Structure formats: C-alpha cells, structure tokens
C-alpha cells in the first residue's frame, strides 16, 4: 500500500483526533476571533490549501448569515500586491507545512501594508507561518509523508468548519463533531465498494461538478487527480457544464456530481445530459438515483464539503497506479514550494 492510500484510509480516525484535540487546540484562535469586532474574516493558501481556503470562506459566509463577510485568496494574490485588505479584516493563512513562501509573504504583507490581524491553521507548529501569525491552530498530530495532501486537507478543513460553528452556530457543534467521523467512514467504504465495480481507473477524462463549498471540493479533486495520475480533470459549477465544457464528453468521461439539497433536481438533469452524451456519472447526494451510480450521504447542506473529497482522492490514486505512476511522489512536485 502506498503512503497516500494509507493516509486516505486514516482520515476517519484523524477526524476523531480532531474532535479530541479541538478544545485545547482551538482556544487561542477562538479567543483571537471572538475578542474583536471584525466584519471580515478572509482565508489565504496555495495549491490544495488555496482550495481549502476557498471552501472555508464559502462556509464562513454561509454560517455567519451576513454577520461577517469572508473572501479567499491564493498566496500570490496578496503576497505580490494584487489585492488590498481593509484594516479591520482578519486574514487566516492555511498551510500544511506553514512554510509556503507565498502564504507566509501574504500574511507579512497584510500585517505590514494594511495593519491586518492574522491567523494560521497548519500542521506544523514550528513553522514560519506560526511565527508571523497573531494566533494559530497547530494540528501537529497530522504528519503526512506523501507530497500529496489528503488527510491534512480534510483535517484542517474539518477544524476550520468546527471553528465556524463555534462562532456562528454553537448549538450545532457537538452534533457536527460526532457526525463527521461516522459520515466519512461510510463514504470511504461506499466509495471503495463502488469503485471495485465501476473501476474509475478505466476512464481517461474526469469532471467534478458542484457549487460553493462543493466547487472548492471539486477543484481539490482536480488537483488530486492531476498530481497523482497526470490525467485530464476539470471542475465547474454543476450547471455551468452545459455551457461549453460538455462538448468534451465521451465514453471515457467519468463525471462526479457533488449535488446540494437546494438545486438537486437541476443537478440531476445535468447528470442525465452527461449520460445521454455517452459519459458515466457518480451522483453524491441524499438520494439513490436509478439511472446513475450513487454515493449516498445524509447531508447536502454543504456541511460535509471536505468529506466529499475522499472519493475524488481515491479516484486519483487508483488512476495513478493503473498508469504505473507513484502517487507518493507526483511528477515535478515538491512537498513545499519555497521561492
Ligand atoms: C501547499 C502546496 C500543496 C501541494 C504541494 C506544494 O502546501 O501547494 O498543496 O500539494 O505539496 O505545496 P502548504 O502551504 O499547504 O504546505
């Protein structure tokens, strides 16, 4: 078994550890966020951590119900001056290593240029990012050996989503803490069972579709499949797919639709269109649709946004191994990008 496969399989257990460590490891960040009347909480990261920042930003906007606004940035956007930040904003850097130069530079520039307060969510408490940040969450119990981010992505996403509930919807915190590990174990097992029959590794073109947090998840799926298997993969808002990109659908296309409760019937129509064009589909929702492969999950309100990346991680690794590649050592990539 490769390190990446092991680290994917460990995710439900890691989520249990996130819950166990939450009170102690969230204390600094919660006091930091709760002790200031801020109207803007933004997130910044690179690569997978950029899509993690995107998912957390959507989730903070959703749970705060307009109490705060949240934007997301890639490290380079802020580090090199493409973006300005309002003085009262808080910028939270997301980084497994805590050493990605653009993310560290982004926090430094935000502090120096805009007088912005900064936070960090990382898996490395001894990192430059933690030194720069005013408050940090340090998940040092996540020690990924693979270059490819899997459990670090989902564990930092889970922790950030817990913090969002702690601030904006504390009544839901306990329920959420217990539901996510169980949900992820079932989805991991269901995905593995489905893939033994469907064999995603036999496809040559992957499409991941979803809105908001599920779009961020889809983009992370694109990175996973690209890094590990070098196979063409793309992501769009679900219904955007009919406005041009669907021209590439053929019998080697596998589309995963990460449906949400609010427009699931419209997303089902998109899935039907892909089938009619000769593509294959996996529909992730509460429903069990007769004409599609299904991964049934009891949430469609975006609360499970990072859990849904698990099937996409597995597709990447299965395709990588089928292509005779090494998922632990993706081509042209290093674990940390230092400039
Ligand atoms: C960010 C990142 C990873 C990617 C590769 C290079 O790392 O882009 O997402 O998989 O390892 O670095 P980090 O800032 O989260 O440590």
C-alpha of residue 46 to centroid of ligand 1, in Å = 6
Between CA 136 and CA 122 the distance in angstroms is 8
User: What confidence tens digit (pLDDT) does each residue in 250-283 have?
Assistant: 999 999 999 999 999 999 999 999 999 999 999 9
Kindly state if the Cβ of 47 falls inside 6 Å of ligand 1: yes
User: What confidence tens digit (pLDDT) does each residue in 126-161 have?
Assistant: 999 999 999 999 999 999 999 999 999 999 999 999
Ligand 1 atom, smallest distance to 48 CA: 9
Q: What 3-state class would DSSP assign to 69?
A: strand
Q: Which helix (H) or strand (E) holds 320?
A: helix 309-322
Ligand 1 atom, smallest distance to 47 CA: 8
C-alpha of residue 92 to centroid of ligand 1, in Å = 16
C-alpha of residue 168 to centroid of ligand 1, in Å = 29
Ligand 1 atom, smallest distance to 153 CA: 15
Nearest-10 crossing angle of helices 151-168, 309-322:
170
Low-confidence ranges of the chain (pLDDT < 50): none
Q: Which of 140, 137, 91, 126 is nearest to 112 (CA)?
A: 91
Kindly state if the Cβ of 149 falls inside 6 Å of ligand 1: yes
Q: Which pLDDT belongs to residue 35? A: 80
C-alpha of residue 311 to centroid of ligand 1, in Å = 20
Q: Which of 122, 188, 118, 187 is nearest to 159 (CA)?
A: 122
Kindly state if the Cβ of 335 falls inside 6 Å of ligand 1: yes
Kindly state if the Cβ of 100 falls inside 6 Å of ligand 1: yes
Backbone dihedral angles phi then psi of residue 93, each to the nearest 5 degrees: -85, 135
Ligand 1: residue of 54, 137, 221, 335 to mutate (most ligand atoms within 8 A of CB) is: 335
Ligand 1: residue of 3, 55, 129, 336 to mutate (most ligand atoms within 8 A of CB) is: 336
C-alpha of residue 69 to centroid of ligand 1, in Å = 26
* Domains in the chain: ranges and CATH: 3-168 (3.40.50.10490), 180-322 (3.40.50.10490)
Between CA 255 and CA 271 the distance in angstroms is 8
Between CA 29 and CA 135 the distance in angstroms is 5
Alpha carbon nearest to ligand 1 atom 5, residue: 335
C-alpha of residue 126 to centroid of ligand 1, in Å = 17
Kindly state if the Cβ of 95 falls inside 6 Å of ligand 1: yes
């Amino acid at each position: 078994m490769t390190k990446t496969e092991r680290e994917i399989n460990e995710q439900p257990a890691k989520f249990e550890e996130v819950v166990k460590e939450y009170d102690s490891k969230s204390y600094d960040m919660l006091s930091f966020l709760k002790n200031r009347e801020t109207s803007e909480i933004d997130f910044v990261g690179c690569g997978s951590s950029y899509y993690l920042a995107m998912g957390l930003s959507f989730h903070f906007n959703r749970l705060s119900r307009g109490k705060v606004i949240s934007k997301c940035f890639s490290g380079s956007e802020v580090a090199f001056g493409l973006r300005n930040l309002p003085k009262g904003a808080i910028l939270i850097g997301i980084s497994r290593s805590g050493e990605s130069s653009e993310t560290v530079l982004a926090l430094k520039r935000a502090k120096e240029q805009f007088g912005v307060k900064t936070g960090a969510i990382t898996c490395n408490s001894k990192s430059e990012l933690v030194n720069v940040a005013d408050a940090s969450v340090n998940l040092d119990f996540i020690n990924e050996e693979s270059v490819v981010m899997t459990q670090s992505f989902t564990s930092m996403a889970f922790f950030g989503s817990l913090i969002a509930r702690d601030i904006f919807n504390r009544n839901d915190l306990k329920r959420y803490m217990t539901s996510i590990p169980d949900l992820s174990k079932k989805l991991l097992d269901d995905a593995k069972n489905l893939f033994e029959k469907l064999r995603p590794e036999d496809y040559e073109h992957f499409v991941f579709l979803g809105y908001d947090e599920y779009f961020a998840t889809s983009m992370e799926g694109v990175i996973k499949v690209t890094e590990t298997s070098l196979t063409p993969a793309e992501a769009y808002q679900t219904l955007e797919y009919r406005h041009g990109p669907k021209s590439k659908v053929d019998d080697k296309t596998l589309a995963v639709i990460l449906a949400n409760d609010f427009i699931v019937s419209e997303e089902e129509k998109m899935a039907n269109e892909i089938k009619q064009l000769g593509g294959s589909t996996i529909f992730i929702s509460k429903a069990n649709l007769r004409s599609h492969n299904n991964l049934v999950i009891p949430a469609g309100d975006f609360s499970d946004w990072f859990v849904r990346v698990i099937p996409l991680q597995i597709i990447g690794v299965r395709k990588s191994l089928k292509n005779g590649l090494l998922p632990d050592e993706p081509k042209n990539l290093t674990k940390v990008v230092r400039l």
